[in-house]
Chains A and B, each alone.
Chain A
Amino acid sequence: MTDTQNTSMAAPGVRQSKAEAVNTAETRELYQARQQIYPKLAHGPFRLLKWVMMAVALGIYYFLPFVRWERGEGMPDQAVLVDFANSRFYFFFIEIWPNEIYYITGLLILASFGLFLATALLGRVWCGYACPQTVWTDLFIMVERFFEGDRNARMRLDKAKWSFDKAWRKGGKHAVWLIIAAATGGAWILYFHDAFDLLENFFSGQAALSSYLFAGILTFTTYTLAGTMREQVCIYMCPWPRIQGAMTDREALNVTYRFDRGEPRGRHKKGESWDERGDCIDCKQCVAVCPMGIDIRDGSQLECIQCALCIDACDDIMKKIERPTGLITYETDDNVDRYAAGEKPRYRFIRPRTLVYAGAFAIVALFMLGALITREELQLNAQRDRNPNYVQLSDGSVRNGYNLKIVNKAGEPRELDLTLEGGDPAIQVRVLGAAAETPMRLPVGADQTQDFILYLTLPADAIDSQREEFVFRVTDPVTGETATTRSVLVTGVNP
């Protein structure tokens, strides 16, 4: 059985497809079993754009872990690395400590506003071009097409009885799918360890159990989500189709069927008049190429990921029957109504919604940029002992204990000078493990937080108030960097 009829051609090469939309509002039943979708290969600029996007996205995903970035002695040289063991996150020139997790928060907020803005302007471009589900599904369908042929051949093969031919085509497809899935899971774990080391250990069986576990999990999810579940993920699992209703509006560019031009639709034979009828010849090519199994002519719908493949399919036909292209095109709902009313289209990309999204995006981006630029590589924190609050010594002098925390985010070890500013000059400083000299030298390792136990003693004859206020200051004599923190010395005297 074939999917196309060759009778009554509208133009040479124009085939009427029998494709029926699998996912339509009319035929939808709550407990209906899933119907297989056999997307046909489209040809055209959007298909090309999607191939390019796929190559770029997959290229970044698979090769980014191998990009090197020199950071200095003893530091990882992987450009992008989530180092859980040492609780660091590296992204090229950026290094983030666990207490700076707000950078990640900022990044997520940026991603959200960016997504909102893109959706308000161009509809679901994320879903159509960049979403991993779309990219990997596209890749898996490409493999399927390689082994089983295009739409009609695949439908025939699925209906055919089991034979050697069917077995090797199906087997080959699943084997390649599994290889891709394993490569996906394998690349994932490379972001969490040194890529080259891990690759070596992974294949010699010496990597950590968690590496194999996560590679396995990602292999499984890639195989099932992109191979077997496909559109089900977008329709039933993903929240974005539900959210997009609030993000897009009548002035956003969406993949749209121009009903003003297309209707009334109907079959057309070559030579027939185009008067009193629309340009849509009901060839259903738009349905045949749709990976979501919908009919775009039903209007915008939750299932549509706006991959624009129906635009390619329709334009192809329009050229052949010598009608203007763009019957299915990126257009706003308002403009389609305007066309129908005989008005000129108007585009309003600057409107309150997009301004708010762009503004919020810019503010968060500026804030993060500021935070990154002013990020300090030297931090000081002093915690005074509260138990005991102070210690009176036999000669009447008073001692306070402190826990001094010095954070060195630089890639090399430092020797820091500790000084006290303000407070009584008679205060004596003692740091456990450091020689008594002025100023006191404290060594701190590269990329480390180091604790020091510090005792300040105020001689009896210098005690004249309940508390002495002062500032701890550490200075790097080499770079001149400095960090301070305020603290007090409690004397225990009641004035």
Chain B
Amino acid sequence: MSDKNDIERDDHTGTETTGHEWDGIKELDTPLPRWWLYIFYATVVWAIVYMVFMPAIPGLPGMPGDGDHTRGLRNHSERVNVVAALEALEASREAGYAALEGASISEIENDPQLLQFVTAAGDAAFGDNCATCHGAGGQGFVGYPNLNDDVWLWGGSYDAIRETLLYGIRAEHDMTRFSQMPAYGRDELLTTAEIEAVADHVLSLSGEGESNPLGQQVYAQQCVTCHMEDGRGDRLQGAPNLTDREWLYGSSREQVINSIYRGPYGVMPAWEGRLDDRTIDALAAYVFLLGGGEAATAGPTGQ
């Protein structure tokens, strides 16, 4: 490129060539489109402005703030933004939680806004903490109670549900509630024949099959203390009603025999200290409103 006259022009297009040649093919030195060039210049300017205003250069030790990079004039930080966004989120929920605090369940039910808040907040907390055992819809599994129905071993009022949530059942908490069914088979308290007979009797209490004298006799000796003479159980002792259609550990004869043999010992953890009180309030209301909640005045056997 010493002299202008050295520049070769392509005959066909009249465009300058780059002077490069490969097997007789020459490359045209076509100018860049102007609009393209202007956009390129604009991006260069943009990059410089960006570097001035935003964090840009990494790997510099001893920079102020939370990192080893330049901070830019805007002092922008996604990490700070996330913290602020979370705080804003909490603040936006503040009104809902404030309304929930101290509200009775009928107040919650009759305030559409509060009801919606409880449903949403409770659903989220339930999915995070409870669904593992009780199922995503609270439908429960064998050994894990269904929270939708009207059967409550430890009480189904708003306050009772909250108490269960706070202190758990057979949990590691001073206030936890406790009951234990003896393992009649494993601890050899009853013979196999006696267990089978009392299982048949228990099934007959809820209208399944026939009772038998041996079963009645064993029941009267071993079971009435907790499950009561009529088999309706005692909520104060955490003894389930044997006459209804709900079977926490299964309704088949084998499952009932198995329950008597081993003595079920299900544990509900205590959530006090692990979840804050307001979340527990929301969860209690949510579980109550799943459809099975009972009025605070319901009798101790949940009739």
A401 to B135, CA, bound (A): 16
Decide if A385 touches B149 in the complex (CB within 8 Å): no
A388-B289 contact, Cβ under 8 Å, with A394-B149, A394-B244, A394-B246: no
Task: Name the CB-closest residue of A to B106.
Answer: A433
Closest Cβ–Cβ distance, residue A458 to chain B (whole Å): 14
In the bound complex, residues from chain A placing their C-beta under 8 Å from that of B197 are none
In the bound complex, residues from chain B placing their C-beta under 8 Å from that of A105 are none
Which residues of chain B from 255 to 273 have a CB within 8 Å of any chain A CB?
A: none
**B136 at the binding interface (Cβ < 8 Å):** yes
Closest Cβ–Cβ distance, residue B106 to chain A (whole Å): 10
A401 to B139, CA, bound (A): 12
Task: Name the CB-closest residue of A to B119.
Answer: A453
A378 to B286, CA, bound (A): 29
**B62 at the binding interface (Cβ < 8 Å):** no
Closest Cβ–Cβ distance, residue B100 to chain A (whole Å): 15
A450 to B149, CA, bound (A): 26
Q: B264-303: contact bitstring with A at CB < 8 Å (1 yes, 0 no)? A: 0000000000000000000000000111100000000010
**B109 at the binding interface (Cβ < 8 Å):** yes
**A163 at the binding interface (Cβ < 8 Å):** no
- Please tell me which one of the listed residues A385, A394, A401 contacts residue B245 in the complex, with CB atoms under 8 A apart: A394
A433 to B110, CA, bound (A): 4
Task: Name the CB-closest residue of B to A388.
Answer: B139
**A451 at the binding interface (Cβ < 8 Å):** yes
Task: Name the CB-closest residue of B to A385.
Answer: B137
Main secondary structure of the interface of B (DSSP, over half): loop
- Please tell me which one of the listed residues A399, A433, A455 contacts residue B115 in the complex, with CB atoms under 8 A apart: A433
A33 to B35, CA, bound (A): 11
**A273 at the binding interface (Cβ < 8 Å):** no
In the bound complex, residues from chain B placing their C-beta under 8 Å from that of A386 are 137
Decide if A388 touches B34 in the complex (CB within 8 Å): no
**A437 at the binding interface (Cβ < 8 Å):** no
**B31 at the binding interface (Cβ < 8 Å):** yes
A388-B146 contact, Cβ under 8 Å, with A31-B34, A394-B244: yes
Q: B230-262: contact bitstring with A at CB < 8 Å (1 yes, 0 no)? A: 000000000001001110000000000000000
In the bound complex, residues from chain A placing their C-beta under 8 Å from that of B150 are 393-394
Decide if B136 touches A395 in the complex (CB within 8 Å): no
In the bound complex, residues from chain A placing their C-beta under 8 Å from that of B148 are 388, 391, 399, 401
**A392 at the binding interface (Cβ < 8 Å):** yes
**B116 at the binding interface (Cβ < 8 Å):** yes
A391-B292 contact, Cβ under 8 Å, with A31-B34, A399-B148, A433-B109: yes
Decide if B292 touches A31 in the complex (CB within 8 Å): no
In the bound complex, residues from chain B placing their C-beta under 8 Å from that of A453 are 115, 119, 289
In the bound complex, residues from chain A placing their C-beta under 8 Å from that of B289 are 432, 453
Q: A418-453: contact bitstring with B at CB < 8 Å (1 yes, 0 no)? A: 000000000000001100000000000000001101
Which residues of chain B from 113 to 169 have a CB within 8 Å of any chain A CB?
A: 115-116, 119, 135-139, 146, 148-151
A101 to B149, CA, bound (A): 41
In the bound complex, residues from chain B placing their C-beta under 8 Å from that of A433 are 109-112, 115
In the bound complex, residues from chain B placing their C-beta under 8 Å from that of A394 are 149-151, 241, 244-246, 302
Decide if A387 touches B139 in the complex (CB within 8 Å): yes
Task: Name the CB-closest residue of A to B131.
Answer: A387
In the bound complex, residues from chain B placing their C-beta under 8 Å from that of A393 are 149-151, 245, 292
Which residues of chain A from 26 to 73 have a CB within 8 Å of any chain B CB?
A: 31, 33
**A477 at the binding interface (Cβ < 8 Å):** no
Task: Name the CB-closest residue of B to A452.
Answer: B112
Task: Name the CB-closest residue of B to A387.
Answer: B137
**B33 at the binding interface (Cβ < 8 Å):** yes
Task: Name the CB-closest residue of A to B148.
Answer: A391
In the bound complex, residues from chain B placing their C-beta under 8 Å from that of A395 are 244-245
Q: B29-67: contact bitstring with A at CB < 8 Å (1 yes, 0 no)? A: 011011100000000000000000000000000000000
In the bound complex, residues from chain B placing their C-beta under 8 Å from that of A432 are 109, 115, 289
Interface size class of B (residues with CB under 8 A): 20 to 34
A394 to B232, CA, bound (A): 12
A388 to B131, CA, bound (A): 12
Interface centre among B115, B290, B291, by most chain A C-beta atoms within 10 angstroms, is: B291
Decide if A392 touches B291 in the complex (CB within 8 Å): no
A393 to B148, CA, bound (A): 9
**A245 at the binding interface (Cβ < 8 Å):** no
Q: A288-308: contact bitstring with B at CB < 8 Å (1 yes, 0 no)? A: 000000000000000000000
Task: Name the CB-closest residue of A to B302.
Answer: A394
Q: A337-368: contact bitstring with B at CB < 8 Å (1 yes, 0 no)? A: 00000000000000000000000000000000
Q: A153-166: contact bitstring with B at CB < 8 Å (1 yes, 0 no)? A: 00000000000000
**A396 at the binding interface (Cβ < 8 Å):** yes
- Please tell me which one of the listed residues B110, B135, B151 contacts residue A388 in the complex, with CB atoms under 8 A apart: B135
Q: A364-402: contact bitstring with B at CB < 8 Å (1 yes, 0 no)? A: 000000000000000000000111100111111001010
In the bound complex, residues from chain B placing their C-beta under 8 Å from that of A451 are 116
Closest Cβ–Cβ distance, residue B75 to chain A (whole Å): 18
A433 to B117, CA, bound (A): 13
Decide if B246 touches A391 in the complex (CB within 8 Å): no
In the bound complex, residues from chain B placing their C-beta under 8 Å from that of A388 are 135, 137-139, 146, 148
A451 to B117, CA, bound (A): 12
A392-B137 contact, Cβ under 8 Å, with A432-B109, A455-B291: no
Task: Name the CB-closest residue of B to A31.
Answer: B31
Interface centre among A386, A388, A451, by most chain B C-beta atoms within 10 angstroms, is: A388
In the bound complex, residues from chain B placing their C-beta under 8 Å from that of A385 are 137
Interchain residue pairs with CB less than 8 A apart (22) = A31-B31, A31-B33, A385-B137, A388-B135, A388-B148, A392-B246, A393-B149, A393-B150, A393-B151, A394-B151, A394-B246, A394-B302, A395-B244, A396-B245, A399-B148, A399-B149, A399-B291, A433-B109, A433-B110, A433-B111, A433-B112, A433-B115
Interface residues of A (CB under 8 A from B): 31, 33, 236, 385-388, 391-396, 399, 401, 432-433, 450-451, 453, 455
Interface residues of B (CB under 8 A from A): 30-31, 33-35, 109-112, 115-116, 119, 135-139, 146, 148-151, 241, 244-246, 289-292, 302
**A-B pairs with lowest CB-CB distance, top 8:** A387-B137, A388-B139, A394-B244, A391-B148, A396-B245, A388-B137, A394-B151, A393-B150
**Given known contacts A31-B30, A432-B109, what 8 new A-B pairs fall within 8 Å (CB)?**
A236-B35, A388-B137, A391-B149, A393-B151, A393-B245, A399-B148, A433-B109, A433-B110
